[in-house]
Amino acid sequence: MKVSERTKVIKPAVTLAIAAKAQKLREQGVDLVNFSAGEPDFDTPEHIKEAAIQALRKGMTKYTDVRGIEPLREAIVEKYQHDYGLSYTKEEVLVSCGGKHALYNVFQAILDQGDEVIIPSPYWVSYQDMVLLCDAVPRILPTKEENGFRITPAELQAALTPRTRAFILNSPSNPTGAAYDREDLAALSRVLEPHECLIFSDDIYEKIVYDEFSFYSIVTINPKLRERTIIFNSVSKTYAMTGWRIGYAIGLAPVISAAAKIQSQSTSNPTSIAQAAALEALRGPQDKVAEMVREFQKRRDAIVKNLNAMEGIRCFNPQGAFYVFPNIRPLLGKKAKGKKIESACDLAEFLLEEAQVAAVPGEDFGSAENIRFTYATSLKEVEKGCERIEAAIKKLE
Ligand SMILES: Cc1ncc(COP(=O)(O)O)c(C=O)c1O
């Protein structure tokens, strides 16, 4: 059977595939430590679930406005006013089936063949393939670990061309957890200001930050960029709602309208009752978020400390999200049971087989020397996983 050429230039989402494999092993009774999933282990807070139940009972079971119900779009506008002092209207908001879908729609709405998108690497797995699906060109811009996985203004300057249509800013980042502070954003914004490209600010981990780190929107730092920035966000990570599939894009009305047109001819509105739940997530009590972040921070501290104590592993201390992306270069070239570990992919496979620890190899995020561990699992599991990794890598010779 012939399938389109388009499907041949992209890869399936590897993180989802590994999570599925890990789940299967668990179902088979394997005592697996799952450091691969990109989702909080917490359940969705009760008041949010209750809002969905009430919506269902009240008969909120019909199509809604393609862009999302008005109260939810208003709540999103209020959130950005409240959190960052940014003024948007509900016409500048599109609610989609997850942040991923919002990004996909907007890419489809703005990219033509040959347009370039600057994607700093390590990057979240889907940006590149979404760009390819638009017949556009991903321009991968490697960051340096010694710069905290952040691109410098000079690196960004050198990457911008007249063909650059968009620049992706994902802070805190998946997979590194690196985040740009106020000064970093001000410096990048000075480089971006004279250009015409759009800025895609993927703020999905905005609330999951540690220590004294404060998240800023690049639009607050440089209001001149408001007309060129599309903000992406979602309830998935902040409220432990990955399965509900509600995310959104905020920005210029013409871009949002074009993206809504694409959504209207593909999925229509996101699920009505999930929208009711997202509304409660944004407008209801926020104390659970702080509780989850405190817990994530304990786990981050534990995993970073444990990994850095292992020979052959160097782990950057992330400011946000719930991932670590340790460098494993010294382990490459070593052997296990006569088999050489030649790549992060080999190491991930070795850890799955030898230690029953599931992780995602760095190649999928644009780095062959790193591996991603998610610590969105209990502290006990974090400790257990680290012990197993340590015991396994001691066997490498
Ligand atoms: C950086 C980043 N952006 C966007 C998404 C999309 O999340 P969702 O579609 O669940 O809102 C993810 C999910 O892993 C992510 O890590």
Per residue in 329-349, pLDDT tens? 999 999 988 889 999 988 998
Burial class of residue 15 in the structure, from the number of CB atoms within 10 Å of its CB (0-12 exposed, 13-18 middle, 19+ buried): buried
Q: Which residue matches tokens 């989802």?
A: 16
Ligand 1 midpoint to CA 99 (Å): 6
Phi, psi of 234 (to 5 degrees): -165, 160
234 lines ligand 1 (CB under 6 A): yes
Torsion of CA 209, 215, 218, 219, to 10 degrees: 130
Ligand 1 midpoint to CA 204 (Å): 6
Chain CA centroid to CA 339, Å: 33
Provide the pLDDT for residue 298.
Answer: 97
As a whole number of Å, the CA-based R_g of the chain is 21
CA–CA distance from 190 to each of 153, 161, 174, 218, 333 (Å)?
8, 16, 24, 11, 43
Token duo for residue 273: 């009752």
**Beta carbons of 359 and 36 less than 8 angstroms apart:** yes
Token duo for residue 97: 């089936």
Provide the pLDDT for residue 13.
Answer: 67
First to last CA, the chain: 46
Provide the pLDDT for residue 129.
Answer: 94
124 lines ligand 1 (CB under 6 A): yes
Nearest ligand 1 atom to alpha carbon 100: 9
Ligand 1 midpoint to CA 172 (Å): 12
177 lines ligand 1 (CB under 6 A): no
**Beta carbons of 249 and 103 less than 8 angstroms apart:** yes
Provide the pLDDT for residue 14.
Answer: 67
Tell me the longest C-alpha to C-alpha distance in the chain.
63
198 lines ligand 1 (CB under 6 A): no
Residue ranges and CATH numbers for the domains of the chain are 5-43+288-394 (3.90.1150.10), 60-283 (3.40.640.10)
Q: CA–CA separation, 97 vs 5, rounded Å?
A: 26
Residue length of the chain: 397
Q: Are strands 339-340 and 357-358 parallel, antiparallel or unpaired?
A: unpaired
Three-class SS of 42-98: CCCCHHHHHHHHHHHHCCCCCCCCCCCCHHHHHHHHHHHHHHHCCCCCHHHEEEECC
Token duo for residue 311: 């020979």
Q: CA–CA separation, 340 vs 153, rounded Å?
A: 39
Q: CA–CA separation, 200 vs 117, rounded Å?
A: 10
Residue by residue, pLDDT tens for the chain (397 residues) are 999 988 888 877 666 777 777 788 888 899 999 999 889 999 999 999 999 999 999 999 999 999 999 999 999 999 999 999 999 999 999 999 999 999 999 999 999 999 999 999 999 999 999 999 999 999 999 999 999 999 999 999 999 999 999 999 999 999 999 999 999 999 999 999 999 999 999 999 999 999 999 999 999 999 999 999 999 999 999 999 999 999 999 999 999 999 999 999 999 999 999 999 999 999 999 999 999 999 999 999 999 999 999 999 999 999 999 999 999 999 999 998 888 999 998 899 899 989 999 999 999 899 999 999 999 999 999 999 999 999 999 999 8
13 lines ligand 1 (CB under 6 A): no
238 lines ligand 1 (CB under 6 A): no
Q: CA–CA separation, 132 vs 134, rounded Å?
A: 5
Q: CA–CA separation, 354 vs 374, rounded Å?
A: 19
Q: What is the pTM of this model?
A: 0.96
Adjacent-strand bridge partners of 120:
141
Token duo for residue 213: 């780190």
270 lines ligand 1 (CB under 6 A): no
The DSSP 8-state label assigned to residue 41 in this structure reads S
Q: Which of 56, 93, 39, 74 has its CA nearest to residue 263?
A: 93
